[in-house]
Amino acid sequence: MALLEANGVVKQFGGLIAVNNVVFSIEKGMIASLIGPNGAGKTTFFNIITGFYQPTSGDIIFDGQSLVGLSTDRITARGVSRTFQNIRLFANMSALENVLVGEHCHLRSGVVGAILHTPGTMREEAQAEARAHELLDFVGLRNRADELAKNLPYGDQRRLEIARALATEPKLLLLDEPSAGMNPIETEDLTQFIRRLRDELDLTILLIEHHMRVVMNISDRVSVMDLGELIAEGAPEEIQQNQRVIEAYLGTGGDEMLGAE
């Protein structure tokens, strides 16, 4: 059964149709990529899935239930988490605190527990912290827990953002251009890391990506958007050959870019 299904999703901003009648699905355990030229509507599509925007029409079914009309925090609690194209960490909070915020919806303690330090709250906080340290370990930030997020190097910020997204215990992880601004070595690390996420944490991953090396390396399936529409879908090799995709990217005669990478 598909974990996520988009049925004829349309998003209109005034006269602009940013996402047009997209029909899309991801099976559980898949790594799927969404590619397309700038302005194709990829991030808008992410924003619709995560509830930042409500679709003008169409439906999104996640894990058997519709996400349309739910607020972002509810959707996160259902098991969809994301990272952002331009890193959006809580800059003035430590790495550990960033991850702890991610755990928010799995913690229960309220005002009374917080003020009185009831045993339940203390236990929960201790567990949450231990879990946050585990996650930081997992993404390779073991020794950076107390550093302010904004003081981390760029690559570590990307990792921290993923750790924070993982802290919400998602079933589906949406990564918006995770390799943006990375050099080839970092990109290679990231590719391995994304594969590990799927294999070790049993996640389903959808990524928006411009680095074709990453896309072609790890994707089980690639979907291509252009001008708000889904124009092609298939295995990486098929997409590399697809004439429409090549035209969307470079106009005619652009096979070199997709092929060479």
Partner 1 sequence: MQLRASIKAGTIVGATALFFTISGMFNALAGPHIAGVSLSHIILALMGLWGGWLTVRDLMGGEESPPPWQTTLSGALAGIIAGLWIAPLVALASAIDVRYVLDSVTPDTITILSFGRSLPQGVLLLVGGLAVLSMATALLYPYLSRANLQMRQDISTSGLSGPAFFSGRSVRVILPLTLLGLLVVLAPLRLGGYYDHVLGSVGIYVMMGLGLNVVVGFAGLLDLGYVAFFAIGAYAYAFLNSPKYNMHVGFWISLPIVVAIAALGGILLGVPVLRMRGDYLAIVTLGFGEIIRLFLNNLVKLTGGPQGILDIRPPSLPGIDLGNPLAFYYLILVGCVATAFVTSRLDRSRIGRAWAAIREDEDVARAMGIDTVKYKLMAFAIGASFAGIGGSIFASRQAAIFPADFTLMVSINVLCLIIIGGMGSIPGIIAGSVALIGLPEMLRGFSDYRLLIFGALLVIMMVFRPEGLIPSVRRQQEIHEEEEKLGIATAAT
Pairing of strands 2-13, 65-66: unpaired
- Minimum CB distance to partner 1, residue 162 (Å): 13
Residues that bind partner 1 (CB under 8 A): 50, 52, 71-73, 76-77, 81-82, 84, 88-93, 97, 100-102, 104-105, 107, 109-111, 113-115, 117, 121, 125, 128, 148, 151, 164, 167-168
**100 or 225, CB closer to partner 1?**
100
- Minimum CB distance to partner 1, residue 21 (Å): 26
**44 or 50, CB closer to partner 1?**
50
- Minimum CB distance to partner 1, residue 161 (Å): 9
**23 or 91, CB closer to partner 1?**
91
- Minimum CB distance to partner 1, residue 197 (Å): 18
Instruction: Please give the torsion angle defined by the CA atoms of residues 241, 245, 251 and 255, in that order, rounded to the nearest 10 degrees.
Output: -20
- Minimum CB distance to partner 1, residue 102 (Å): 5
- Which one-letter DSSP state was computed for residue 108? -
- Minimum CB distance to partner 1, residue 93 (Å): 6
CB-based contacts of 174, cutoff 8 Å, min separation 6: 46, 49, 50, 80, 81, 82, 83, 205, 206, 207, 208
Greatest C-alpha distance within the chain: 69
**82 or 211, CB closer to partner 1?**
82
- Among 100, 88, 181, which Cα is nearest to 133's? 100
**2 or 101, CB closer to partner 1?**
101
The whole-angstrom distance between residue 247's C-alpha and the CA centroid of its chain comes to 27
**3 or 128, CB closer to partner 1?**
128
- Minimum CB distance to partner 1, residue 104 (Å): 5
Q: How far apart are CA 196 and CA 207, in angstroms?
A: 15
Q: How far apart are CA 76 and CA 69, in angstroms?
A: 13
Half-sphere exposure of 162 (CA within 13 A, CB side): 26
**88 or 196, CB closer to partner 1?**
88
Instruction: Please state the φ and ψ torsions of residue 80, each to the nearest 5 degrees.
Output: -115, 125
